[in-house]
Structures are given as structure tokens and as C-alpha cells.
Structure 1
């Protein structure tokens, strides 16, 4: 008895001195473990709120007020479903979307999709760099062209020369920049009754302006480059981790991996949607309430906030633009490089050294370089971004149809073909996107 008592006392002493053995010590470790599992989904969701997306949400709130925020509630399950399906393709097969298309479909189909993706992404990079430069100039003055070069070169250099694990960690930390818009919302004078009604009660207007705005939101939240990026990052993580293999070759642990992917994707897309809602509500409470509906870019939104909501709101809104741009540009350039590289069966991956994947990094650098150069041409960035959104909207539908067909093929997914609610939710997302594009076409025709 004495010996047992001594043992118990020793264990209790160890528990007191070693926080990992105490109940309160296990909690931080558990949270760290949870945060460690968040990766491609979190980064993809945060990258969805890029400077051009911020411009779209600001314009939506300015023009339509609180009554447009319900669209984000609608798009959340749709974007979460299609991104989870994309991630499953990468984890199951060990290849991204383009890598699977080139193995199972005609080359001409892939070439057309990849060409449009490269064009849309490059234009988006140009618009994002321009918005970041304008936001930085707003805060610190100086020439905007110098900031375009600074942000563009920094983004490319980080992708090429940073260690992969460190690079992913940087991207995760950059997601925190989106909390700037929660701060902006906190200082805005929001009519919460109207805000809640706008979230829960859909308000639809059958006119060209409203339908175009809805399509812009759909094109911003459900974008092809996000599908390609998350699928390729799942494949990349599997290649980097020697303990992992494509699930199509190794079935053990599939349920755990799918649970991780779902949690990662839901957290990432929920984060993206909440930030988008915060931006729409901020714009509704400031610009729409003041009768200012001519907001076109995120930088204009930041500048216009000063006389309405004060200098603090302007600063945090502008800093958020820079932070999200630094997160989005690598995703835009990287998704284009993955798509082209996998389609050509080149060695691809940010975990590879530049010499090991020269062509892959060459495409990445080319996309960013053209994006930088477009800011020094007479091309109107607003018009360029508009056409980029059109290309993304048109491209999203065939890519989603192709993706939904692919995940039912046993020669692609093996025994892990997508079924059940997730499969039908993916088709619903495809149908909604197609309906939005069709409605935009009808609005243009009329």
C-alpha cells in the first residue's frame, strides 16, 4: 500500500510539473494539432477573398445594401462541396485536375481549358497587383508602379526560393490579414436588424444590374483556379510526405483523410464566406447608407471609407488588401503553373528545387511577369478584371461538369468514386453556376 501510494504521488508530481500530462496542458496541444491539419482548404478559402474579390463584395454592398448578403449563405455549401471534390481528386489519385484530364480525356479539351485558365489568372494577377499598389500608395504615398514591381517580384521569389514547408506556413499566417475586415466592420455603424434580414431572407431583382452582380459573386466564390489549386496541393502534400501514397494505391486510412479534407475545406470556405459577408455589410453600412454606389475597386473602397467611417477603417481596409493580395497572387500563378505542368506531364511542385522543375517555375514566373507588365500598359484594369470574371464564369461550368464526370470514373478514382450527398451537392453547384452564366447572357442580350 505504501509503495502504491508513493507511485501515485510520483505520478501526480509529474503531472504537476509536466503540463503535457495535465488536462489544461492537453488543450493547447489539441488545438495545435487541429491547426496543423488545416492547409490547402484554409489557404484556398482565404485566397478566394483576393483584392479583386474584395472589390466585387464592396461594390455589391454599395449598390445593393444589406439585401445582397444572402448570396454568400447560398454559395457557402456549394463552394465547400466543389472544393472538397477537387481535394479528393488530388488525394486519391496523386495528381491534380489537369494531371487526371491529360490521362483520361482528349488533349484538345485540356489545352482549351488550360489556355483560358492561364489568361484569366494572369489578368486577375494584374488587377490584384494594381489594387495592392493603390492601397499601399494610399497609406504611404510614393509611386504605384514601384509597389507593383515590389509585390509581384516578392510573390514569385517566395514561391521559387522558399522551402515548401516554410512557404505554406507563410501562406497560413497571411490568412490572418483577412481579419482586417472584421475590424472594419466593427467600426462601421451597422443596422443589425437589416443585416440579419439580408442574410436570412433572399431578395431577388430581375434586372441586368442585379443578375450581373450575382454572377460576379458566383464567379468570385466559385472560381476554376481554386479547383486546380486545392487538388494540386493535396497531391503535393502527398508527394512531400513519404508516409503517404495516393489512396487509389493504398486504401488504409482513407476515411481519416477524407474527414481531414472535409474539415479543412469547410473551415476554409466558412472563413472565406464570413469575411465576404463582413465586407458586404461594411460597404452597405457606409457607402450604400451614404448614397455612394460608384465603388469599382477595393482600393477605391478603402479610400472612400475615410470620410464615412474614419481613418482607422481606411487603414485596416487597405492593409487587408495588401495582405490578401500577397496570399492570392501565389495561388493564381501557382494554379496556372500546376495546370500547364501537369497537363504536359512535367515535373511539378513547389516542394521541388528550381532546377528540378524549371518549366513549372517558368510558367509561374511568366504568368506573374505578364501580370506585372499589364499594369504598365493602357489596358483599363477595371475592364480587364471584368473580362477576367467573364472568362472565369464561362470556364467554371465546363470544368465543373468535367470534374463531376471524372469523380464517377473508377479508372480515375478506383473504389473512392464520389457518391451520395456530396456528389449531388456538386451537381447543384454546377447547375447554379450554369444558370448564373445563362442569366447573365440573357441580361446582356436584352
Structure 2
């Protein structure tokens, strides 16, 4: 899955920062941030619940999903880098308008729900750690996320997002404070105890829906466009095929590392929950903050502190990604000036959409809506919208009229279509497990 598109002559490198910096540091950008944002507080809650309820019985899903999620994100990044337009912009250009309106509307609804759940989880975690008003923390975290996107210059904003990814290493740190049954973990990973009942299948679908989410598609494709605007030497690969080799290598490495990072962190969270909560008979976790609190008497205060720190860090990373991807989708659909590299006065509607989506998400934390029920419906929406979006992505990525000479190769086609079919089956299973008793 590391094949590069056709190179022409002396292929140019596609650096993210100065060439004098180490190669790995220079290429990590949209893929790393996207991967880290995948492990948002709602994702942490999902992984914790799976580990608490089924022990090591769902760990197999992460190594299984890794090549699929990496392939999908590479494809969406290639679309942005090749065409110079984000995902919504490409759908609008090549498909009937009602398709992009439906997809983006569902995306915005799901993102707003996720924003509310993530900010609520951050507030709960902070309150549980140091005390204080949850309402106050909700307002503070929401305001910080809005202000970061509106008033920080793009290069500074991206740098902050990159540093926030380090917060996820805390979940690897928690593994040093728990006792893991390595033989049981290895057995259940290689020979998964799959159960065809509603609870287990719903957990699998929730994990898949959290791992392969539409908002990540829209975000990474648009970030590739942003990076092009920041670097005048870059041009859409469709118009500058001589840049393809370097660009494809960067995208592949960036995305493989980012999705690998996401997978490792998700595994650490599942294993921690399985080795502590499940082992001690705690099988129901309704939020990431509750998972952190439940760890305290079992794994100690420092393990709880690390878990909470991860929730705060990934929340501050994920909420802007959720708000930003919604704004990119809406802006590209309605042909607004879009981009975090634009000044607020140059893209007023774009930034207003970010602020409004975040504000509505904050508002959900002041309603009687159950956050876990909201997340369930968000997962349903994501599961439904992911399938048609992935089908459209696969079709666009293989058409020369859209991609020019840079259509994706056989490896990406195979993994991309496997991911699409798998997500379709997951969406069907999600509906079936809540309609048909098993």
C-alpha cells in the first residue's frame, strides 16, 4: 500500500517544513493529526466499553481495521492533493448537488453531536481530577477550541495540533500500571471469540464506526489543499504530475504513521480496560471520564491521571478537527472561501460555521439528552453516510477525468473496496442488531 503514482523526470520532493529537518518530522502532518483525532474522547469511551465488557475479545478489530483505515485515508488525501479541492468540493463538481447536500448535512449533524460529547467528556474528566464546575469547564474548553481555529495562524495552529498528539502517549503509559494476561491477549487476538449476539456485534460496529469515520475523510482531503496553499511551489498533481512521486511518498508515510499511531493507542485503551475493569467485574462504562475514574482504585491514581490527561489532550485535538471538517464540507458545498490559512475576514462564513457547530455542540451539554444515546445516533449517522461517501471516493479516485494520470493503483483499489464493503456490512449489522433479536 506504498505504491507511488507515475513519476515524471526528476520528481520533486513534497516537504511539509524545511528540508533541513529530519525526513520523518518533515512529512508528518495531515495524516498524523487525522489519526490522532480518530482517538477522540468518544472513541476512548467506545474502546474502554469494549474492553470492559468483552475483555480481550474485541482487540482483533484494530489490527484488522488498520490497513483498511490507512487505505481509505490515503485515497482521500490523494484526492485533495491531486485535484486541489477537498472531498465535498469534488463531490459537488462531479455529482448531482443533492448528493453532496445529503452527505454534508449528515456529516454536520454527526460532528455536532460528537463535539458536544467530546467537550462534555473533557469537562467531566477535569472535574473528576481537580474538582470544580463541569458547566464552567464545558464553556472554557469550547471557547478554547473556537478561538484556536479563528485567531491562530495556520502554521502555528498545525504545530499545536501536532504537539497535542503527544498526549495520546499517556495511554501507552497506563499499560505500565496494569497487569496484562499476555497469553489471553495473544489468543483472543489471533483466534477472536466472535459471538453472534446483539451486544457483541453492536460493540464491533461501534468500534468500526469510530475508527473509519466520514469526518476524517473530509478533514484530511481539505488539509492537503491547505498545505498546498501554504507552499506556493506545490500545485495539484493533475496539473503538475512531476510532483507526484514525492507527494505520494509523503502522503503514504504520513498516513501510515498516523493511522498506525491511532491503532496502537486504541489497542492500549482496550487492553487497559480489559486488564483492569473487565478483570474486576466492571463491564459497563458510559463515558471516557467514567473509565478514568474506574481505573483509580484498580490501577492507582497516577494511572487515572494519565488517562485523564489523554482525554484532555485528544479532546483539544479532536474538537477543532470535527468543527473544521464540518466547515470544510459546508463551505466547499456552497462555494464559500474556505481554509484555516485564510484570515477570518477573508472567510467569514467558513469561520462562522466552525463557531456555530462548536457552539451547538456545547449547547447539547446543557440539555437532557443522554450523551451516550447521542453518540449512538451519531455512530448510526456515520455508519450510514460513510458507505455512499466511500463508494463515491473510490469511483472518483479511479477516474482519469478527475485524477488525470494519478489514479490510484491496484493495492489501494483492493483495500479501499474491502473497506467499503466492510463498512456496508457494518452498517447493516448495526441496524440488524437493534431490530432482530439474536
Q: Does 1:139 align with 2:129?
A: yes
Are the equivalent residues in 2 in contact too, given 1:94–1:239 (CA < 8 A)?
no
Q: CA deviation at 1:30?
A: 7.7
The within-5 A match list for 1:358-373 is 358-373=348-363
Aligned residues: 418
Q: In structure 2, how many angstroms separate the alpha carbons of the residues matched to 1:200 and 1:273?
A: 16
Match of 2:318 in 1: 328
Q: In structure 2, how many angstroms separate the alpha carbons of the residues matched to 1:73 and 1:327?
A: 24
The within-5 A match list for 1:101-180 is 101-180=91-170
User: How big is each residue's C-alpha offset from its partner over 1:101-149, in whole Å with a ceiling of 9 and x where there is no partner?
Assistant: 1111111110000000000000000000000000000111010011011
Are the equivalent residues in 2 in contact too, given 1:67–1:197 (CA < 8 A)?
no
User: How big is each residue's C-alpha offset from its partner over 1:153-180, in whole Å with a ceiling of 9 and x where there is no partner?
Assistant: 1011010100110100000000000011
Match of 2:281 in 1: 291
The within-5 A match list for 1:208-247 is 208-247=198-237
2:385 to 395, 410, 416: 395
Q: Secondary structure at the match of 1:206?
A: coil
Q: In structure 1, how many angstroms separate the alpha carbons of the residues matched to 2:346 and 2:248?
A: 31
Q: In structure 2, how many angstroms separate the alpha carbons of the residues matched to 1:164 and 1:301?
A: 34
Residue range with higher mean Cα deviation, 42-51 or 337-346: 337-346
Match of 2:301 in 1: 311
Match of 2:12 in 1: none
Are the equivalent residues in 1 in contact too, given 2:241–2:406 (CA < 8 A)?
no
Q: Does 1:55 align with 2:13?
A: no
User: How big is each residue's C-alpha offset from its partner over 1:3-43, in whole Å with a ceiling of 9 and x where there is no partner?
Assistant: xxxxxxxxxxxxxxxxxxxxxxxxxx987331121000000
Q: In structure 2, how many angstroms separate the alpha carbons of the residues matched to 1:319 and 1:303?
A: 12
Match of 2:4 in 1: none
Q: Does 1:258 align with 2:239?
A: no
Match of 1:353 in 2: 343
Q: In structure 1, how many angstroms separate the alpha carbons of the residues matched to 2:267 and 2:64?
A: 12
Q: Secondary structure at the match of 2:69?
A: helix
Match of 1:78 in 2: 68
2:190 to 176, 180, 200: 200
Are the equivalent residues in 1 in contact too, given 2:380–2:430 (CA < 8 A)?
no
Provide the TM-score with structure 1 as the length reference.
0.92
Structure label with greater radius of gyration: 1
User: How big is each residue's C-alpha offset from its partner over 1:330-355, in whole Å with a ceiling of 9 and x where there is no partner?
Assistant: 00000000011011111100000000
User: How big is each residue's C-alpha offset from its partner over 1:179-218, in whole Å with a ceiling of 9 and x where there is no partner?
Assistant: 1101111101111111222222232111011110010001
Q: Secondary structure at the match of 1:445?
A: coil
| RMSD value, Cα | 1.0
Match of 2:332 in 1: 342
2:88 to 85, 95, 98: 98
Q: Does 1:181 align with 2:163?
A: no
Match of 1:382 in 2: 372
Match of 1:274 in 2: 264
Name whichever structure is richer in helix by fraction: 1
Match of 1:423 in 2: 413
Structure 1 stretches of 5 or more lacking a match?
Answer: 1-28
Q: In structure 1, how many angstroms separate the alpha carbons of the residues matched to 2:302 and 2:191?
A: 32
Structure 2 stretches of 5 or more lacking a match?
Answer: 1-18
Q: In structure 2, how many angstroms separate the alpha carbons of the residues matched to 1:318 and 1:155?
A: 18
User: How big is each residue's C-alpha offset from its partner over 1:206-255, in whole Å with a ceiling of 9 and x where there is no partner?
Assistant: 10111100100010000000000000000110111111010111111201
User: How big is each residue's C-alpha offset from its partner over 1:389-420, in whole Å with a ceiling of 9 and x where there is no partner?
Assistant: 11111111111111111112222111111131
Q: In structure 2, how many angstroms separate the alpha carbons of the residues matched to 1:132 and 1:235?
A: 30
Match of 1:444 in 2: 434
1:87 to 64, 69, 77: 77
Q: In structure 1, how many angstroms separate the alpha carbons of the residues matched to 2:430 and 2:114?
A: 20
Are the equivalent residues in 2 in contact too, given 1:81–1:426 (CA < 8 A)?
yes
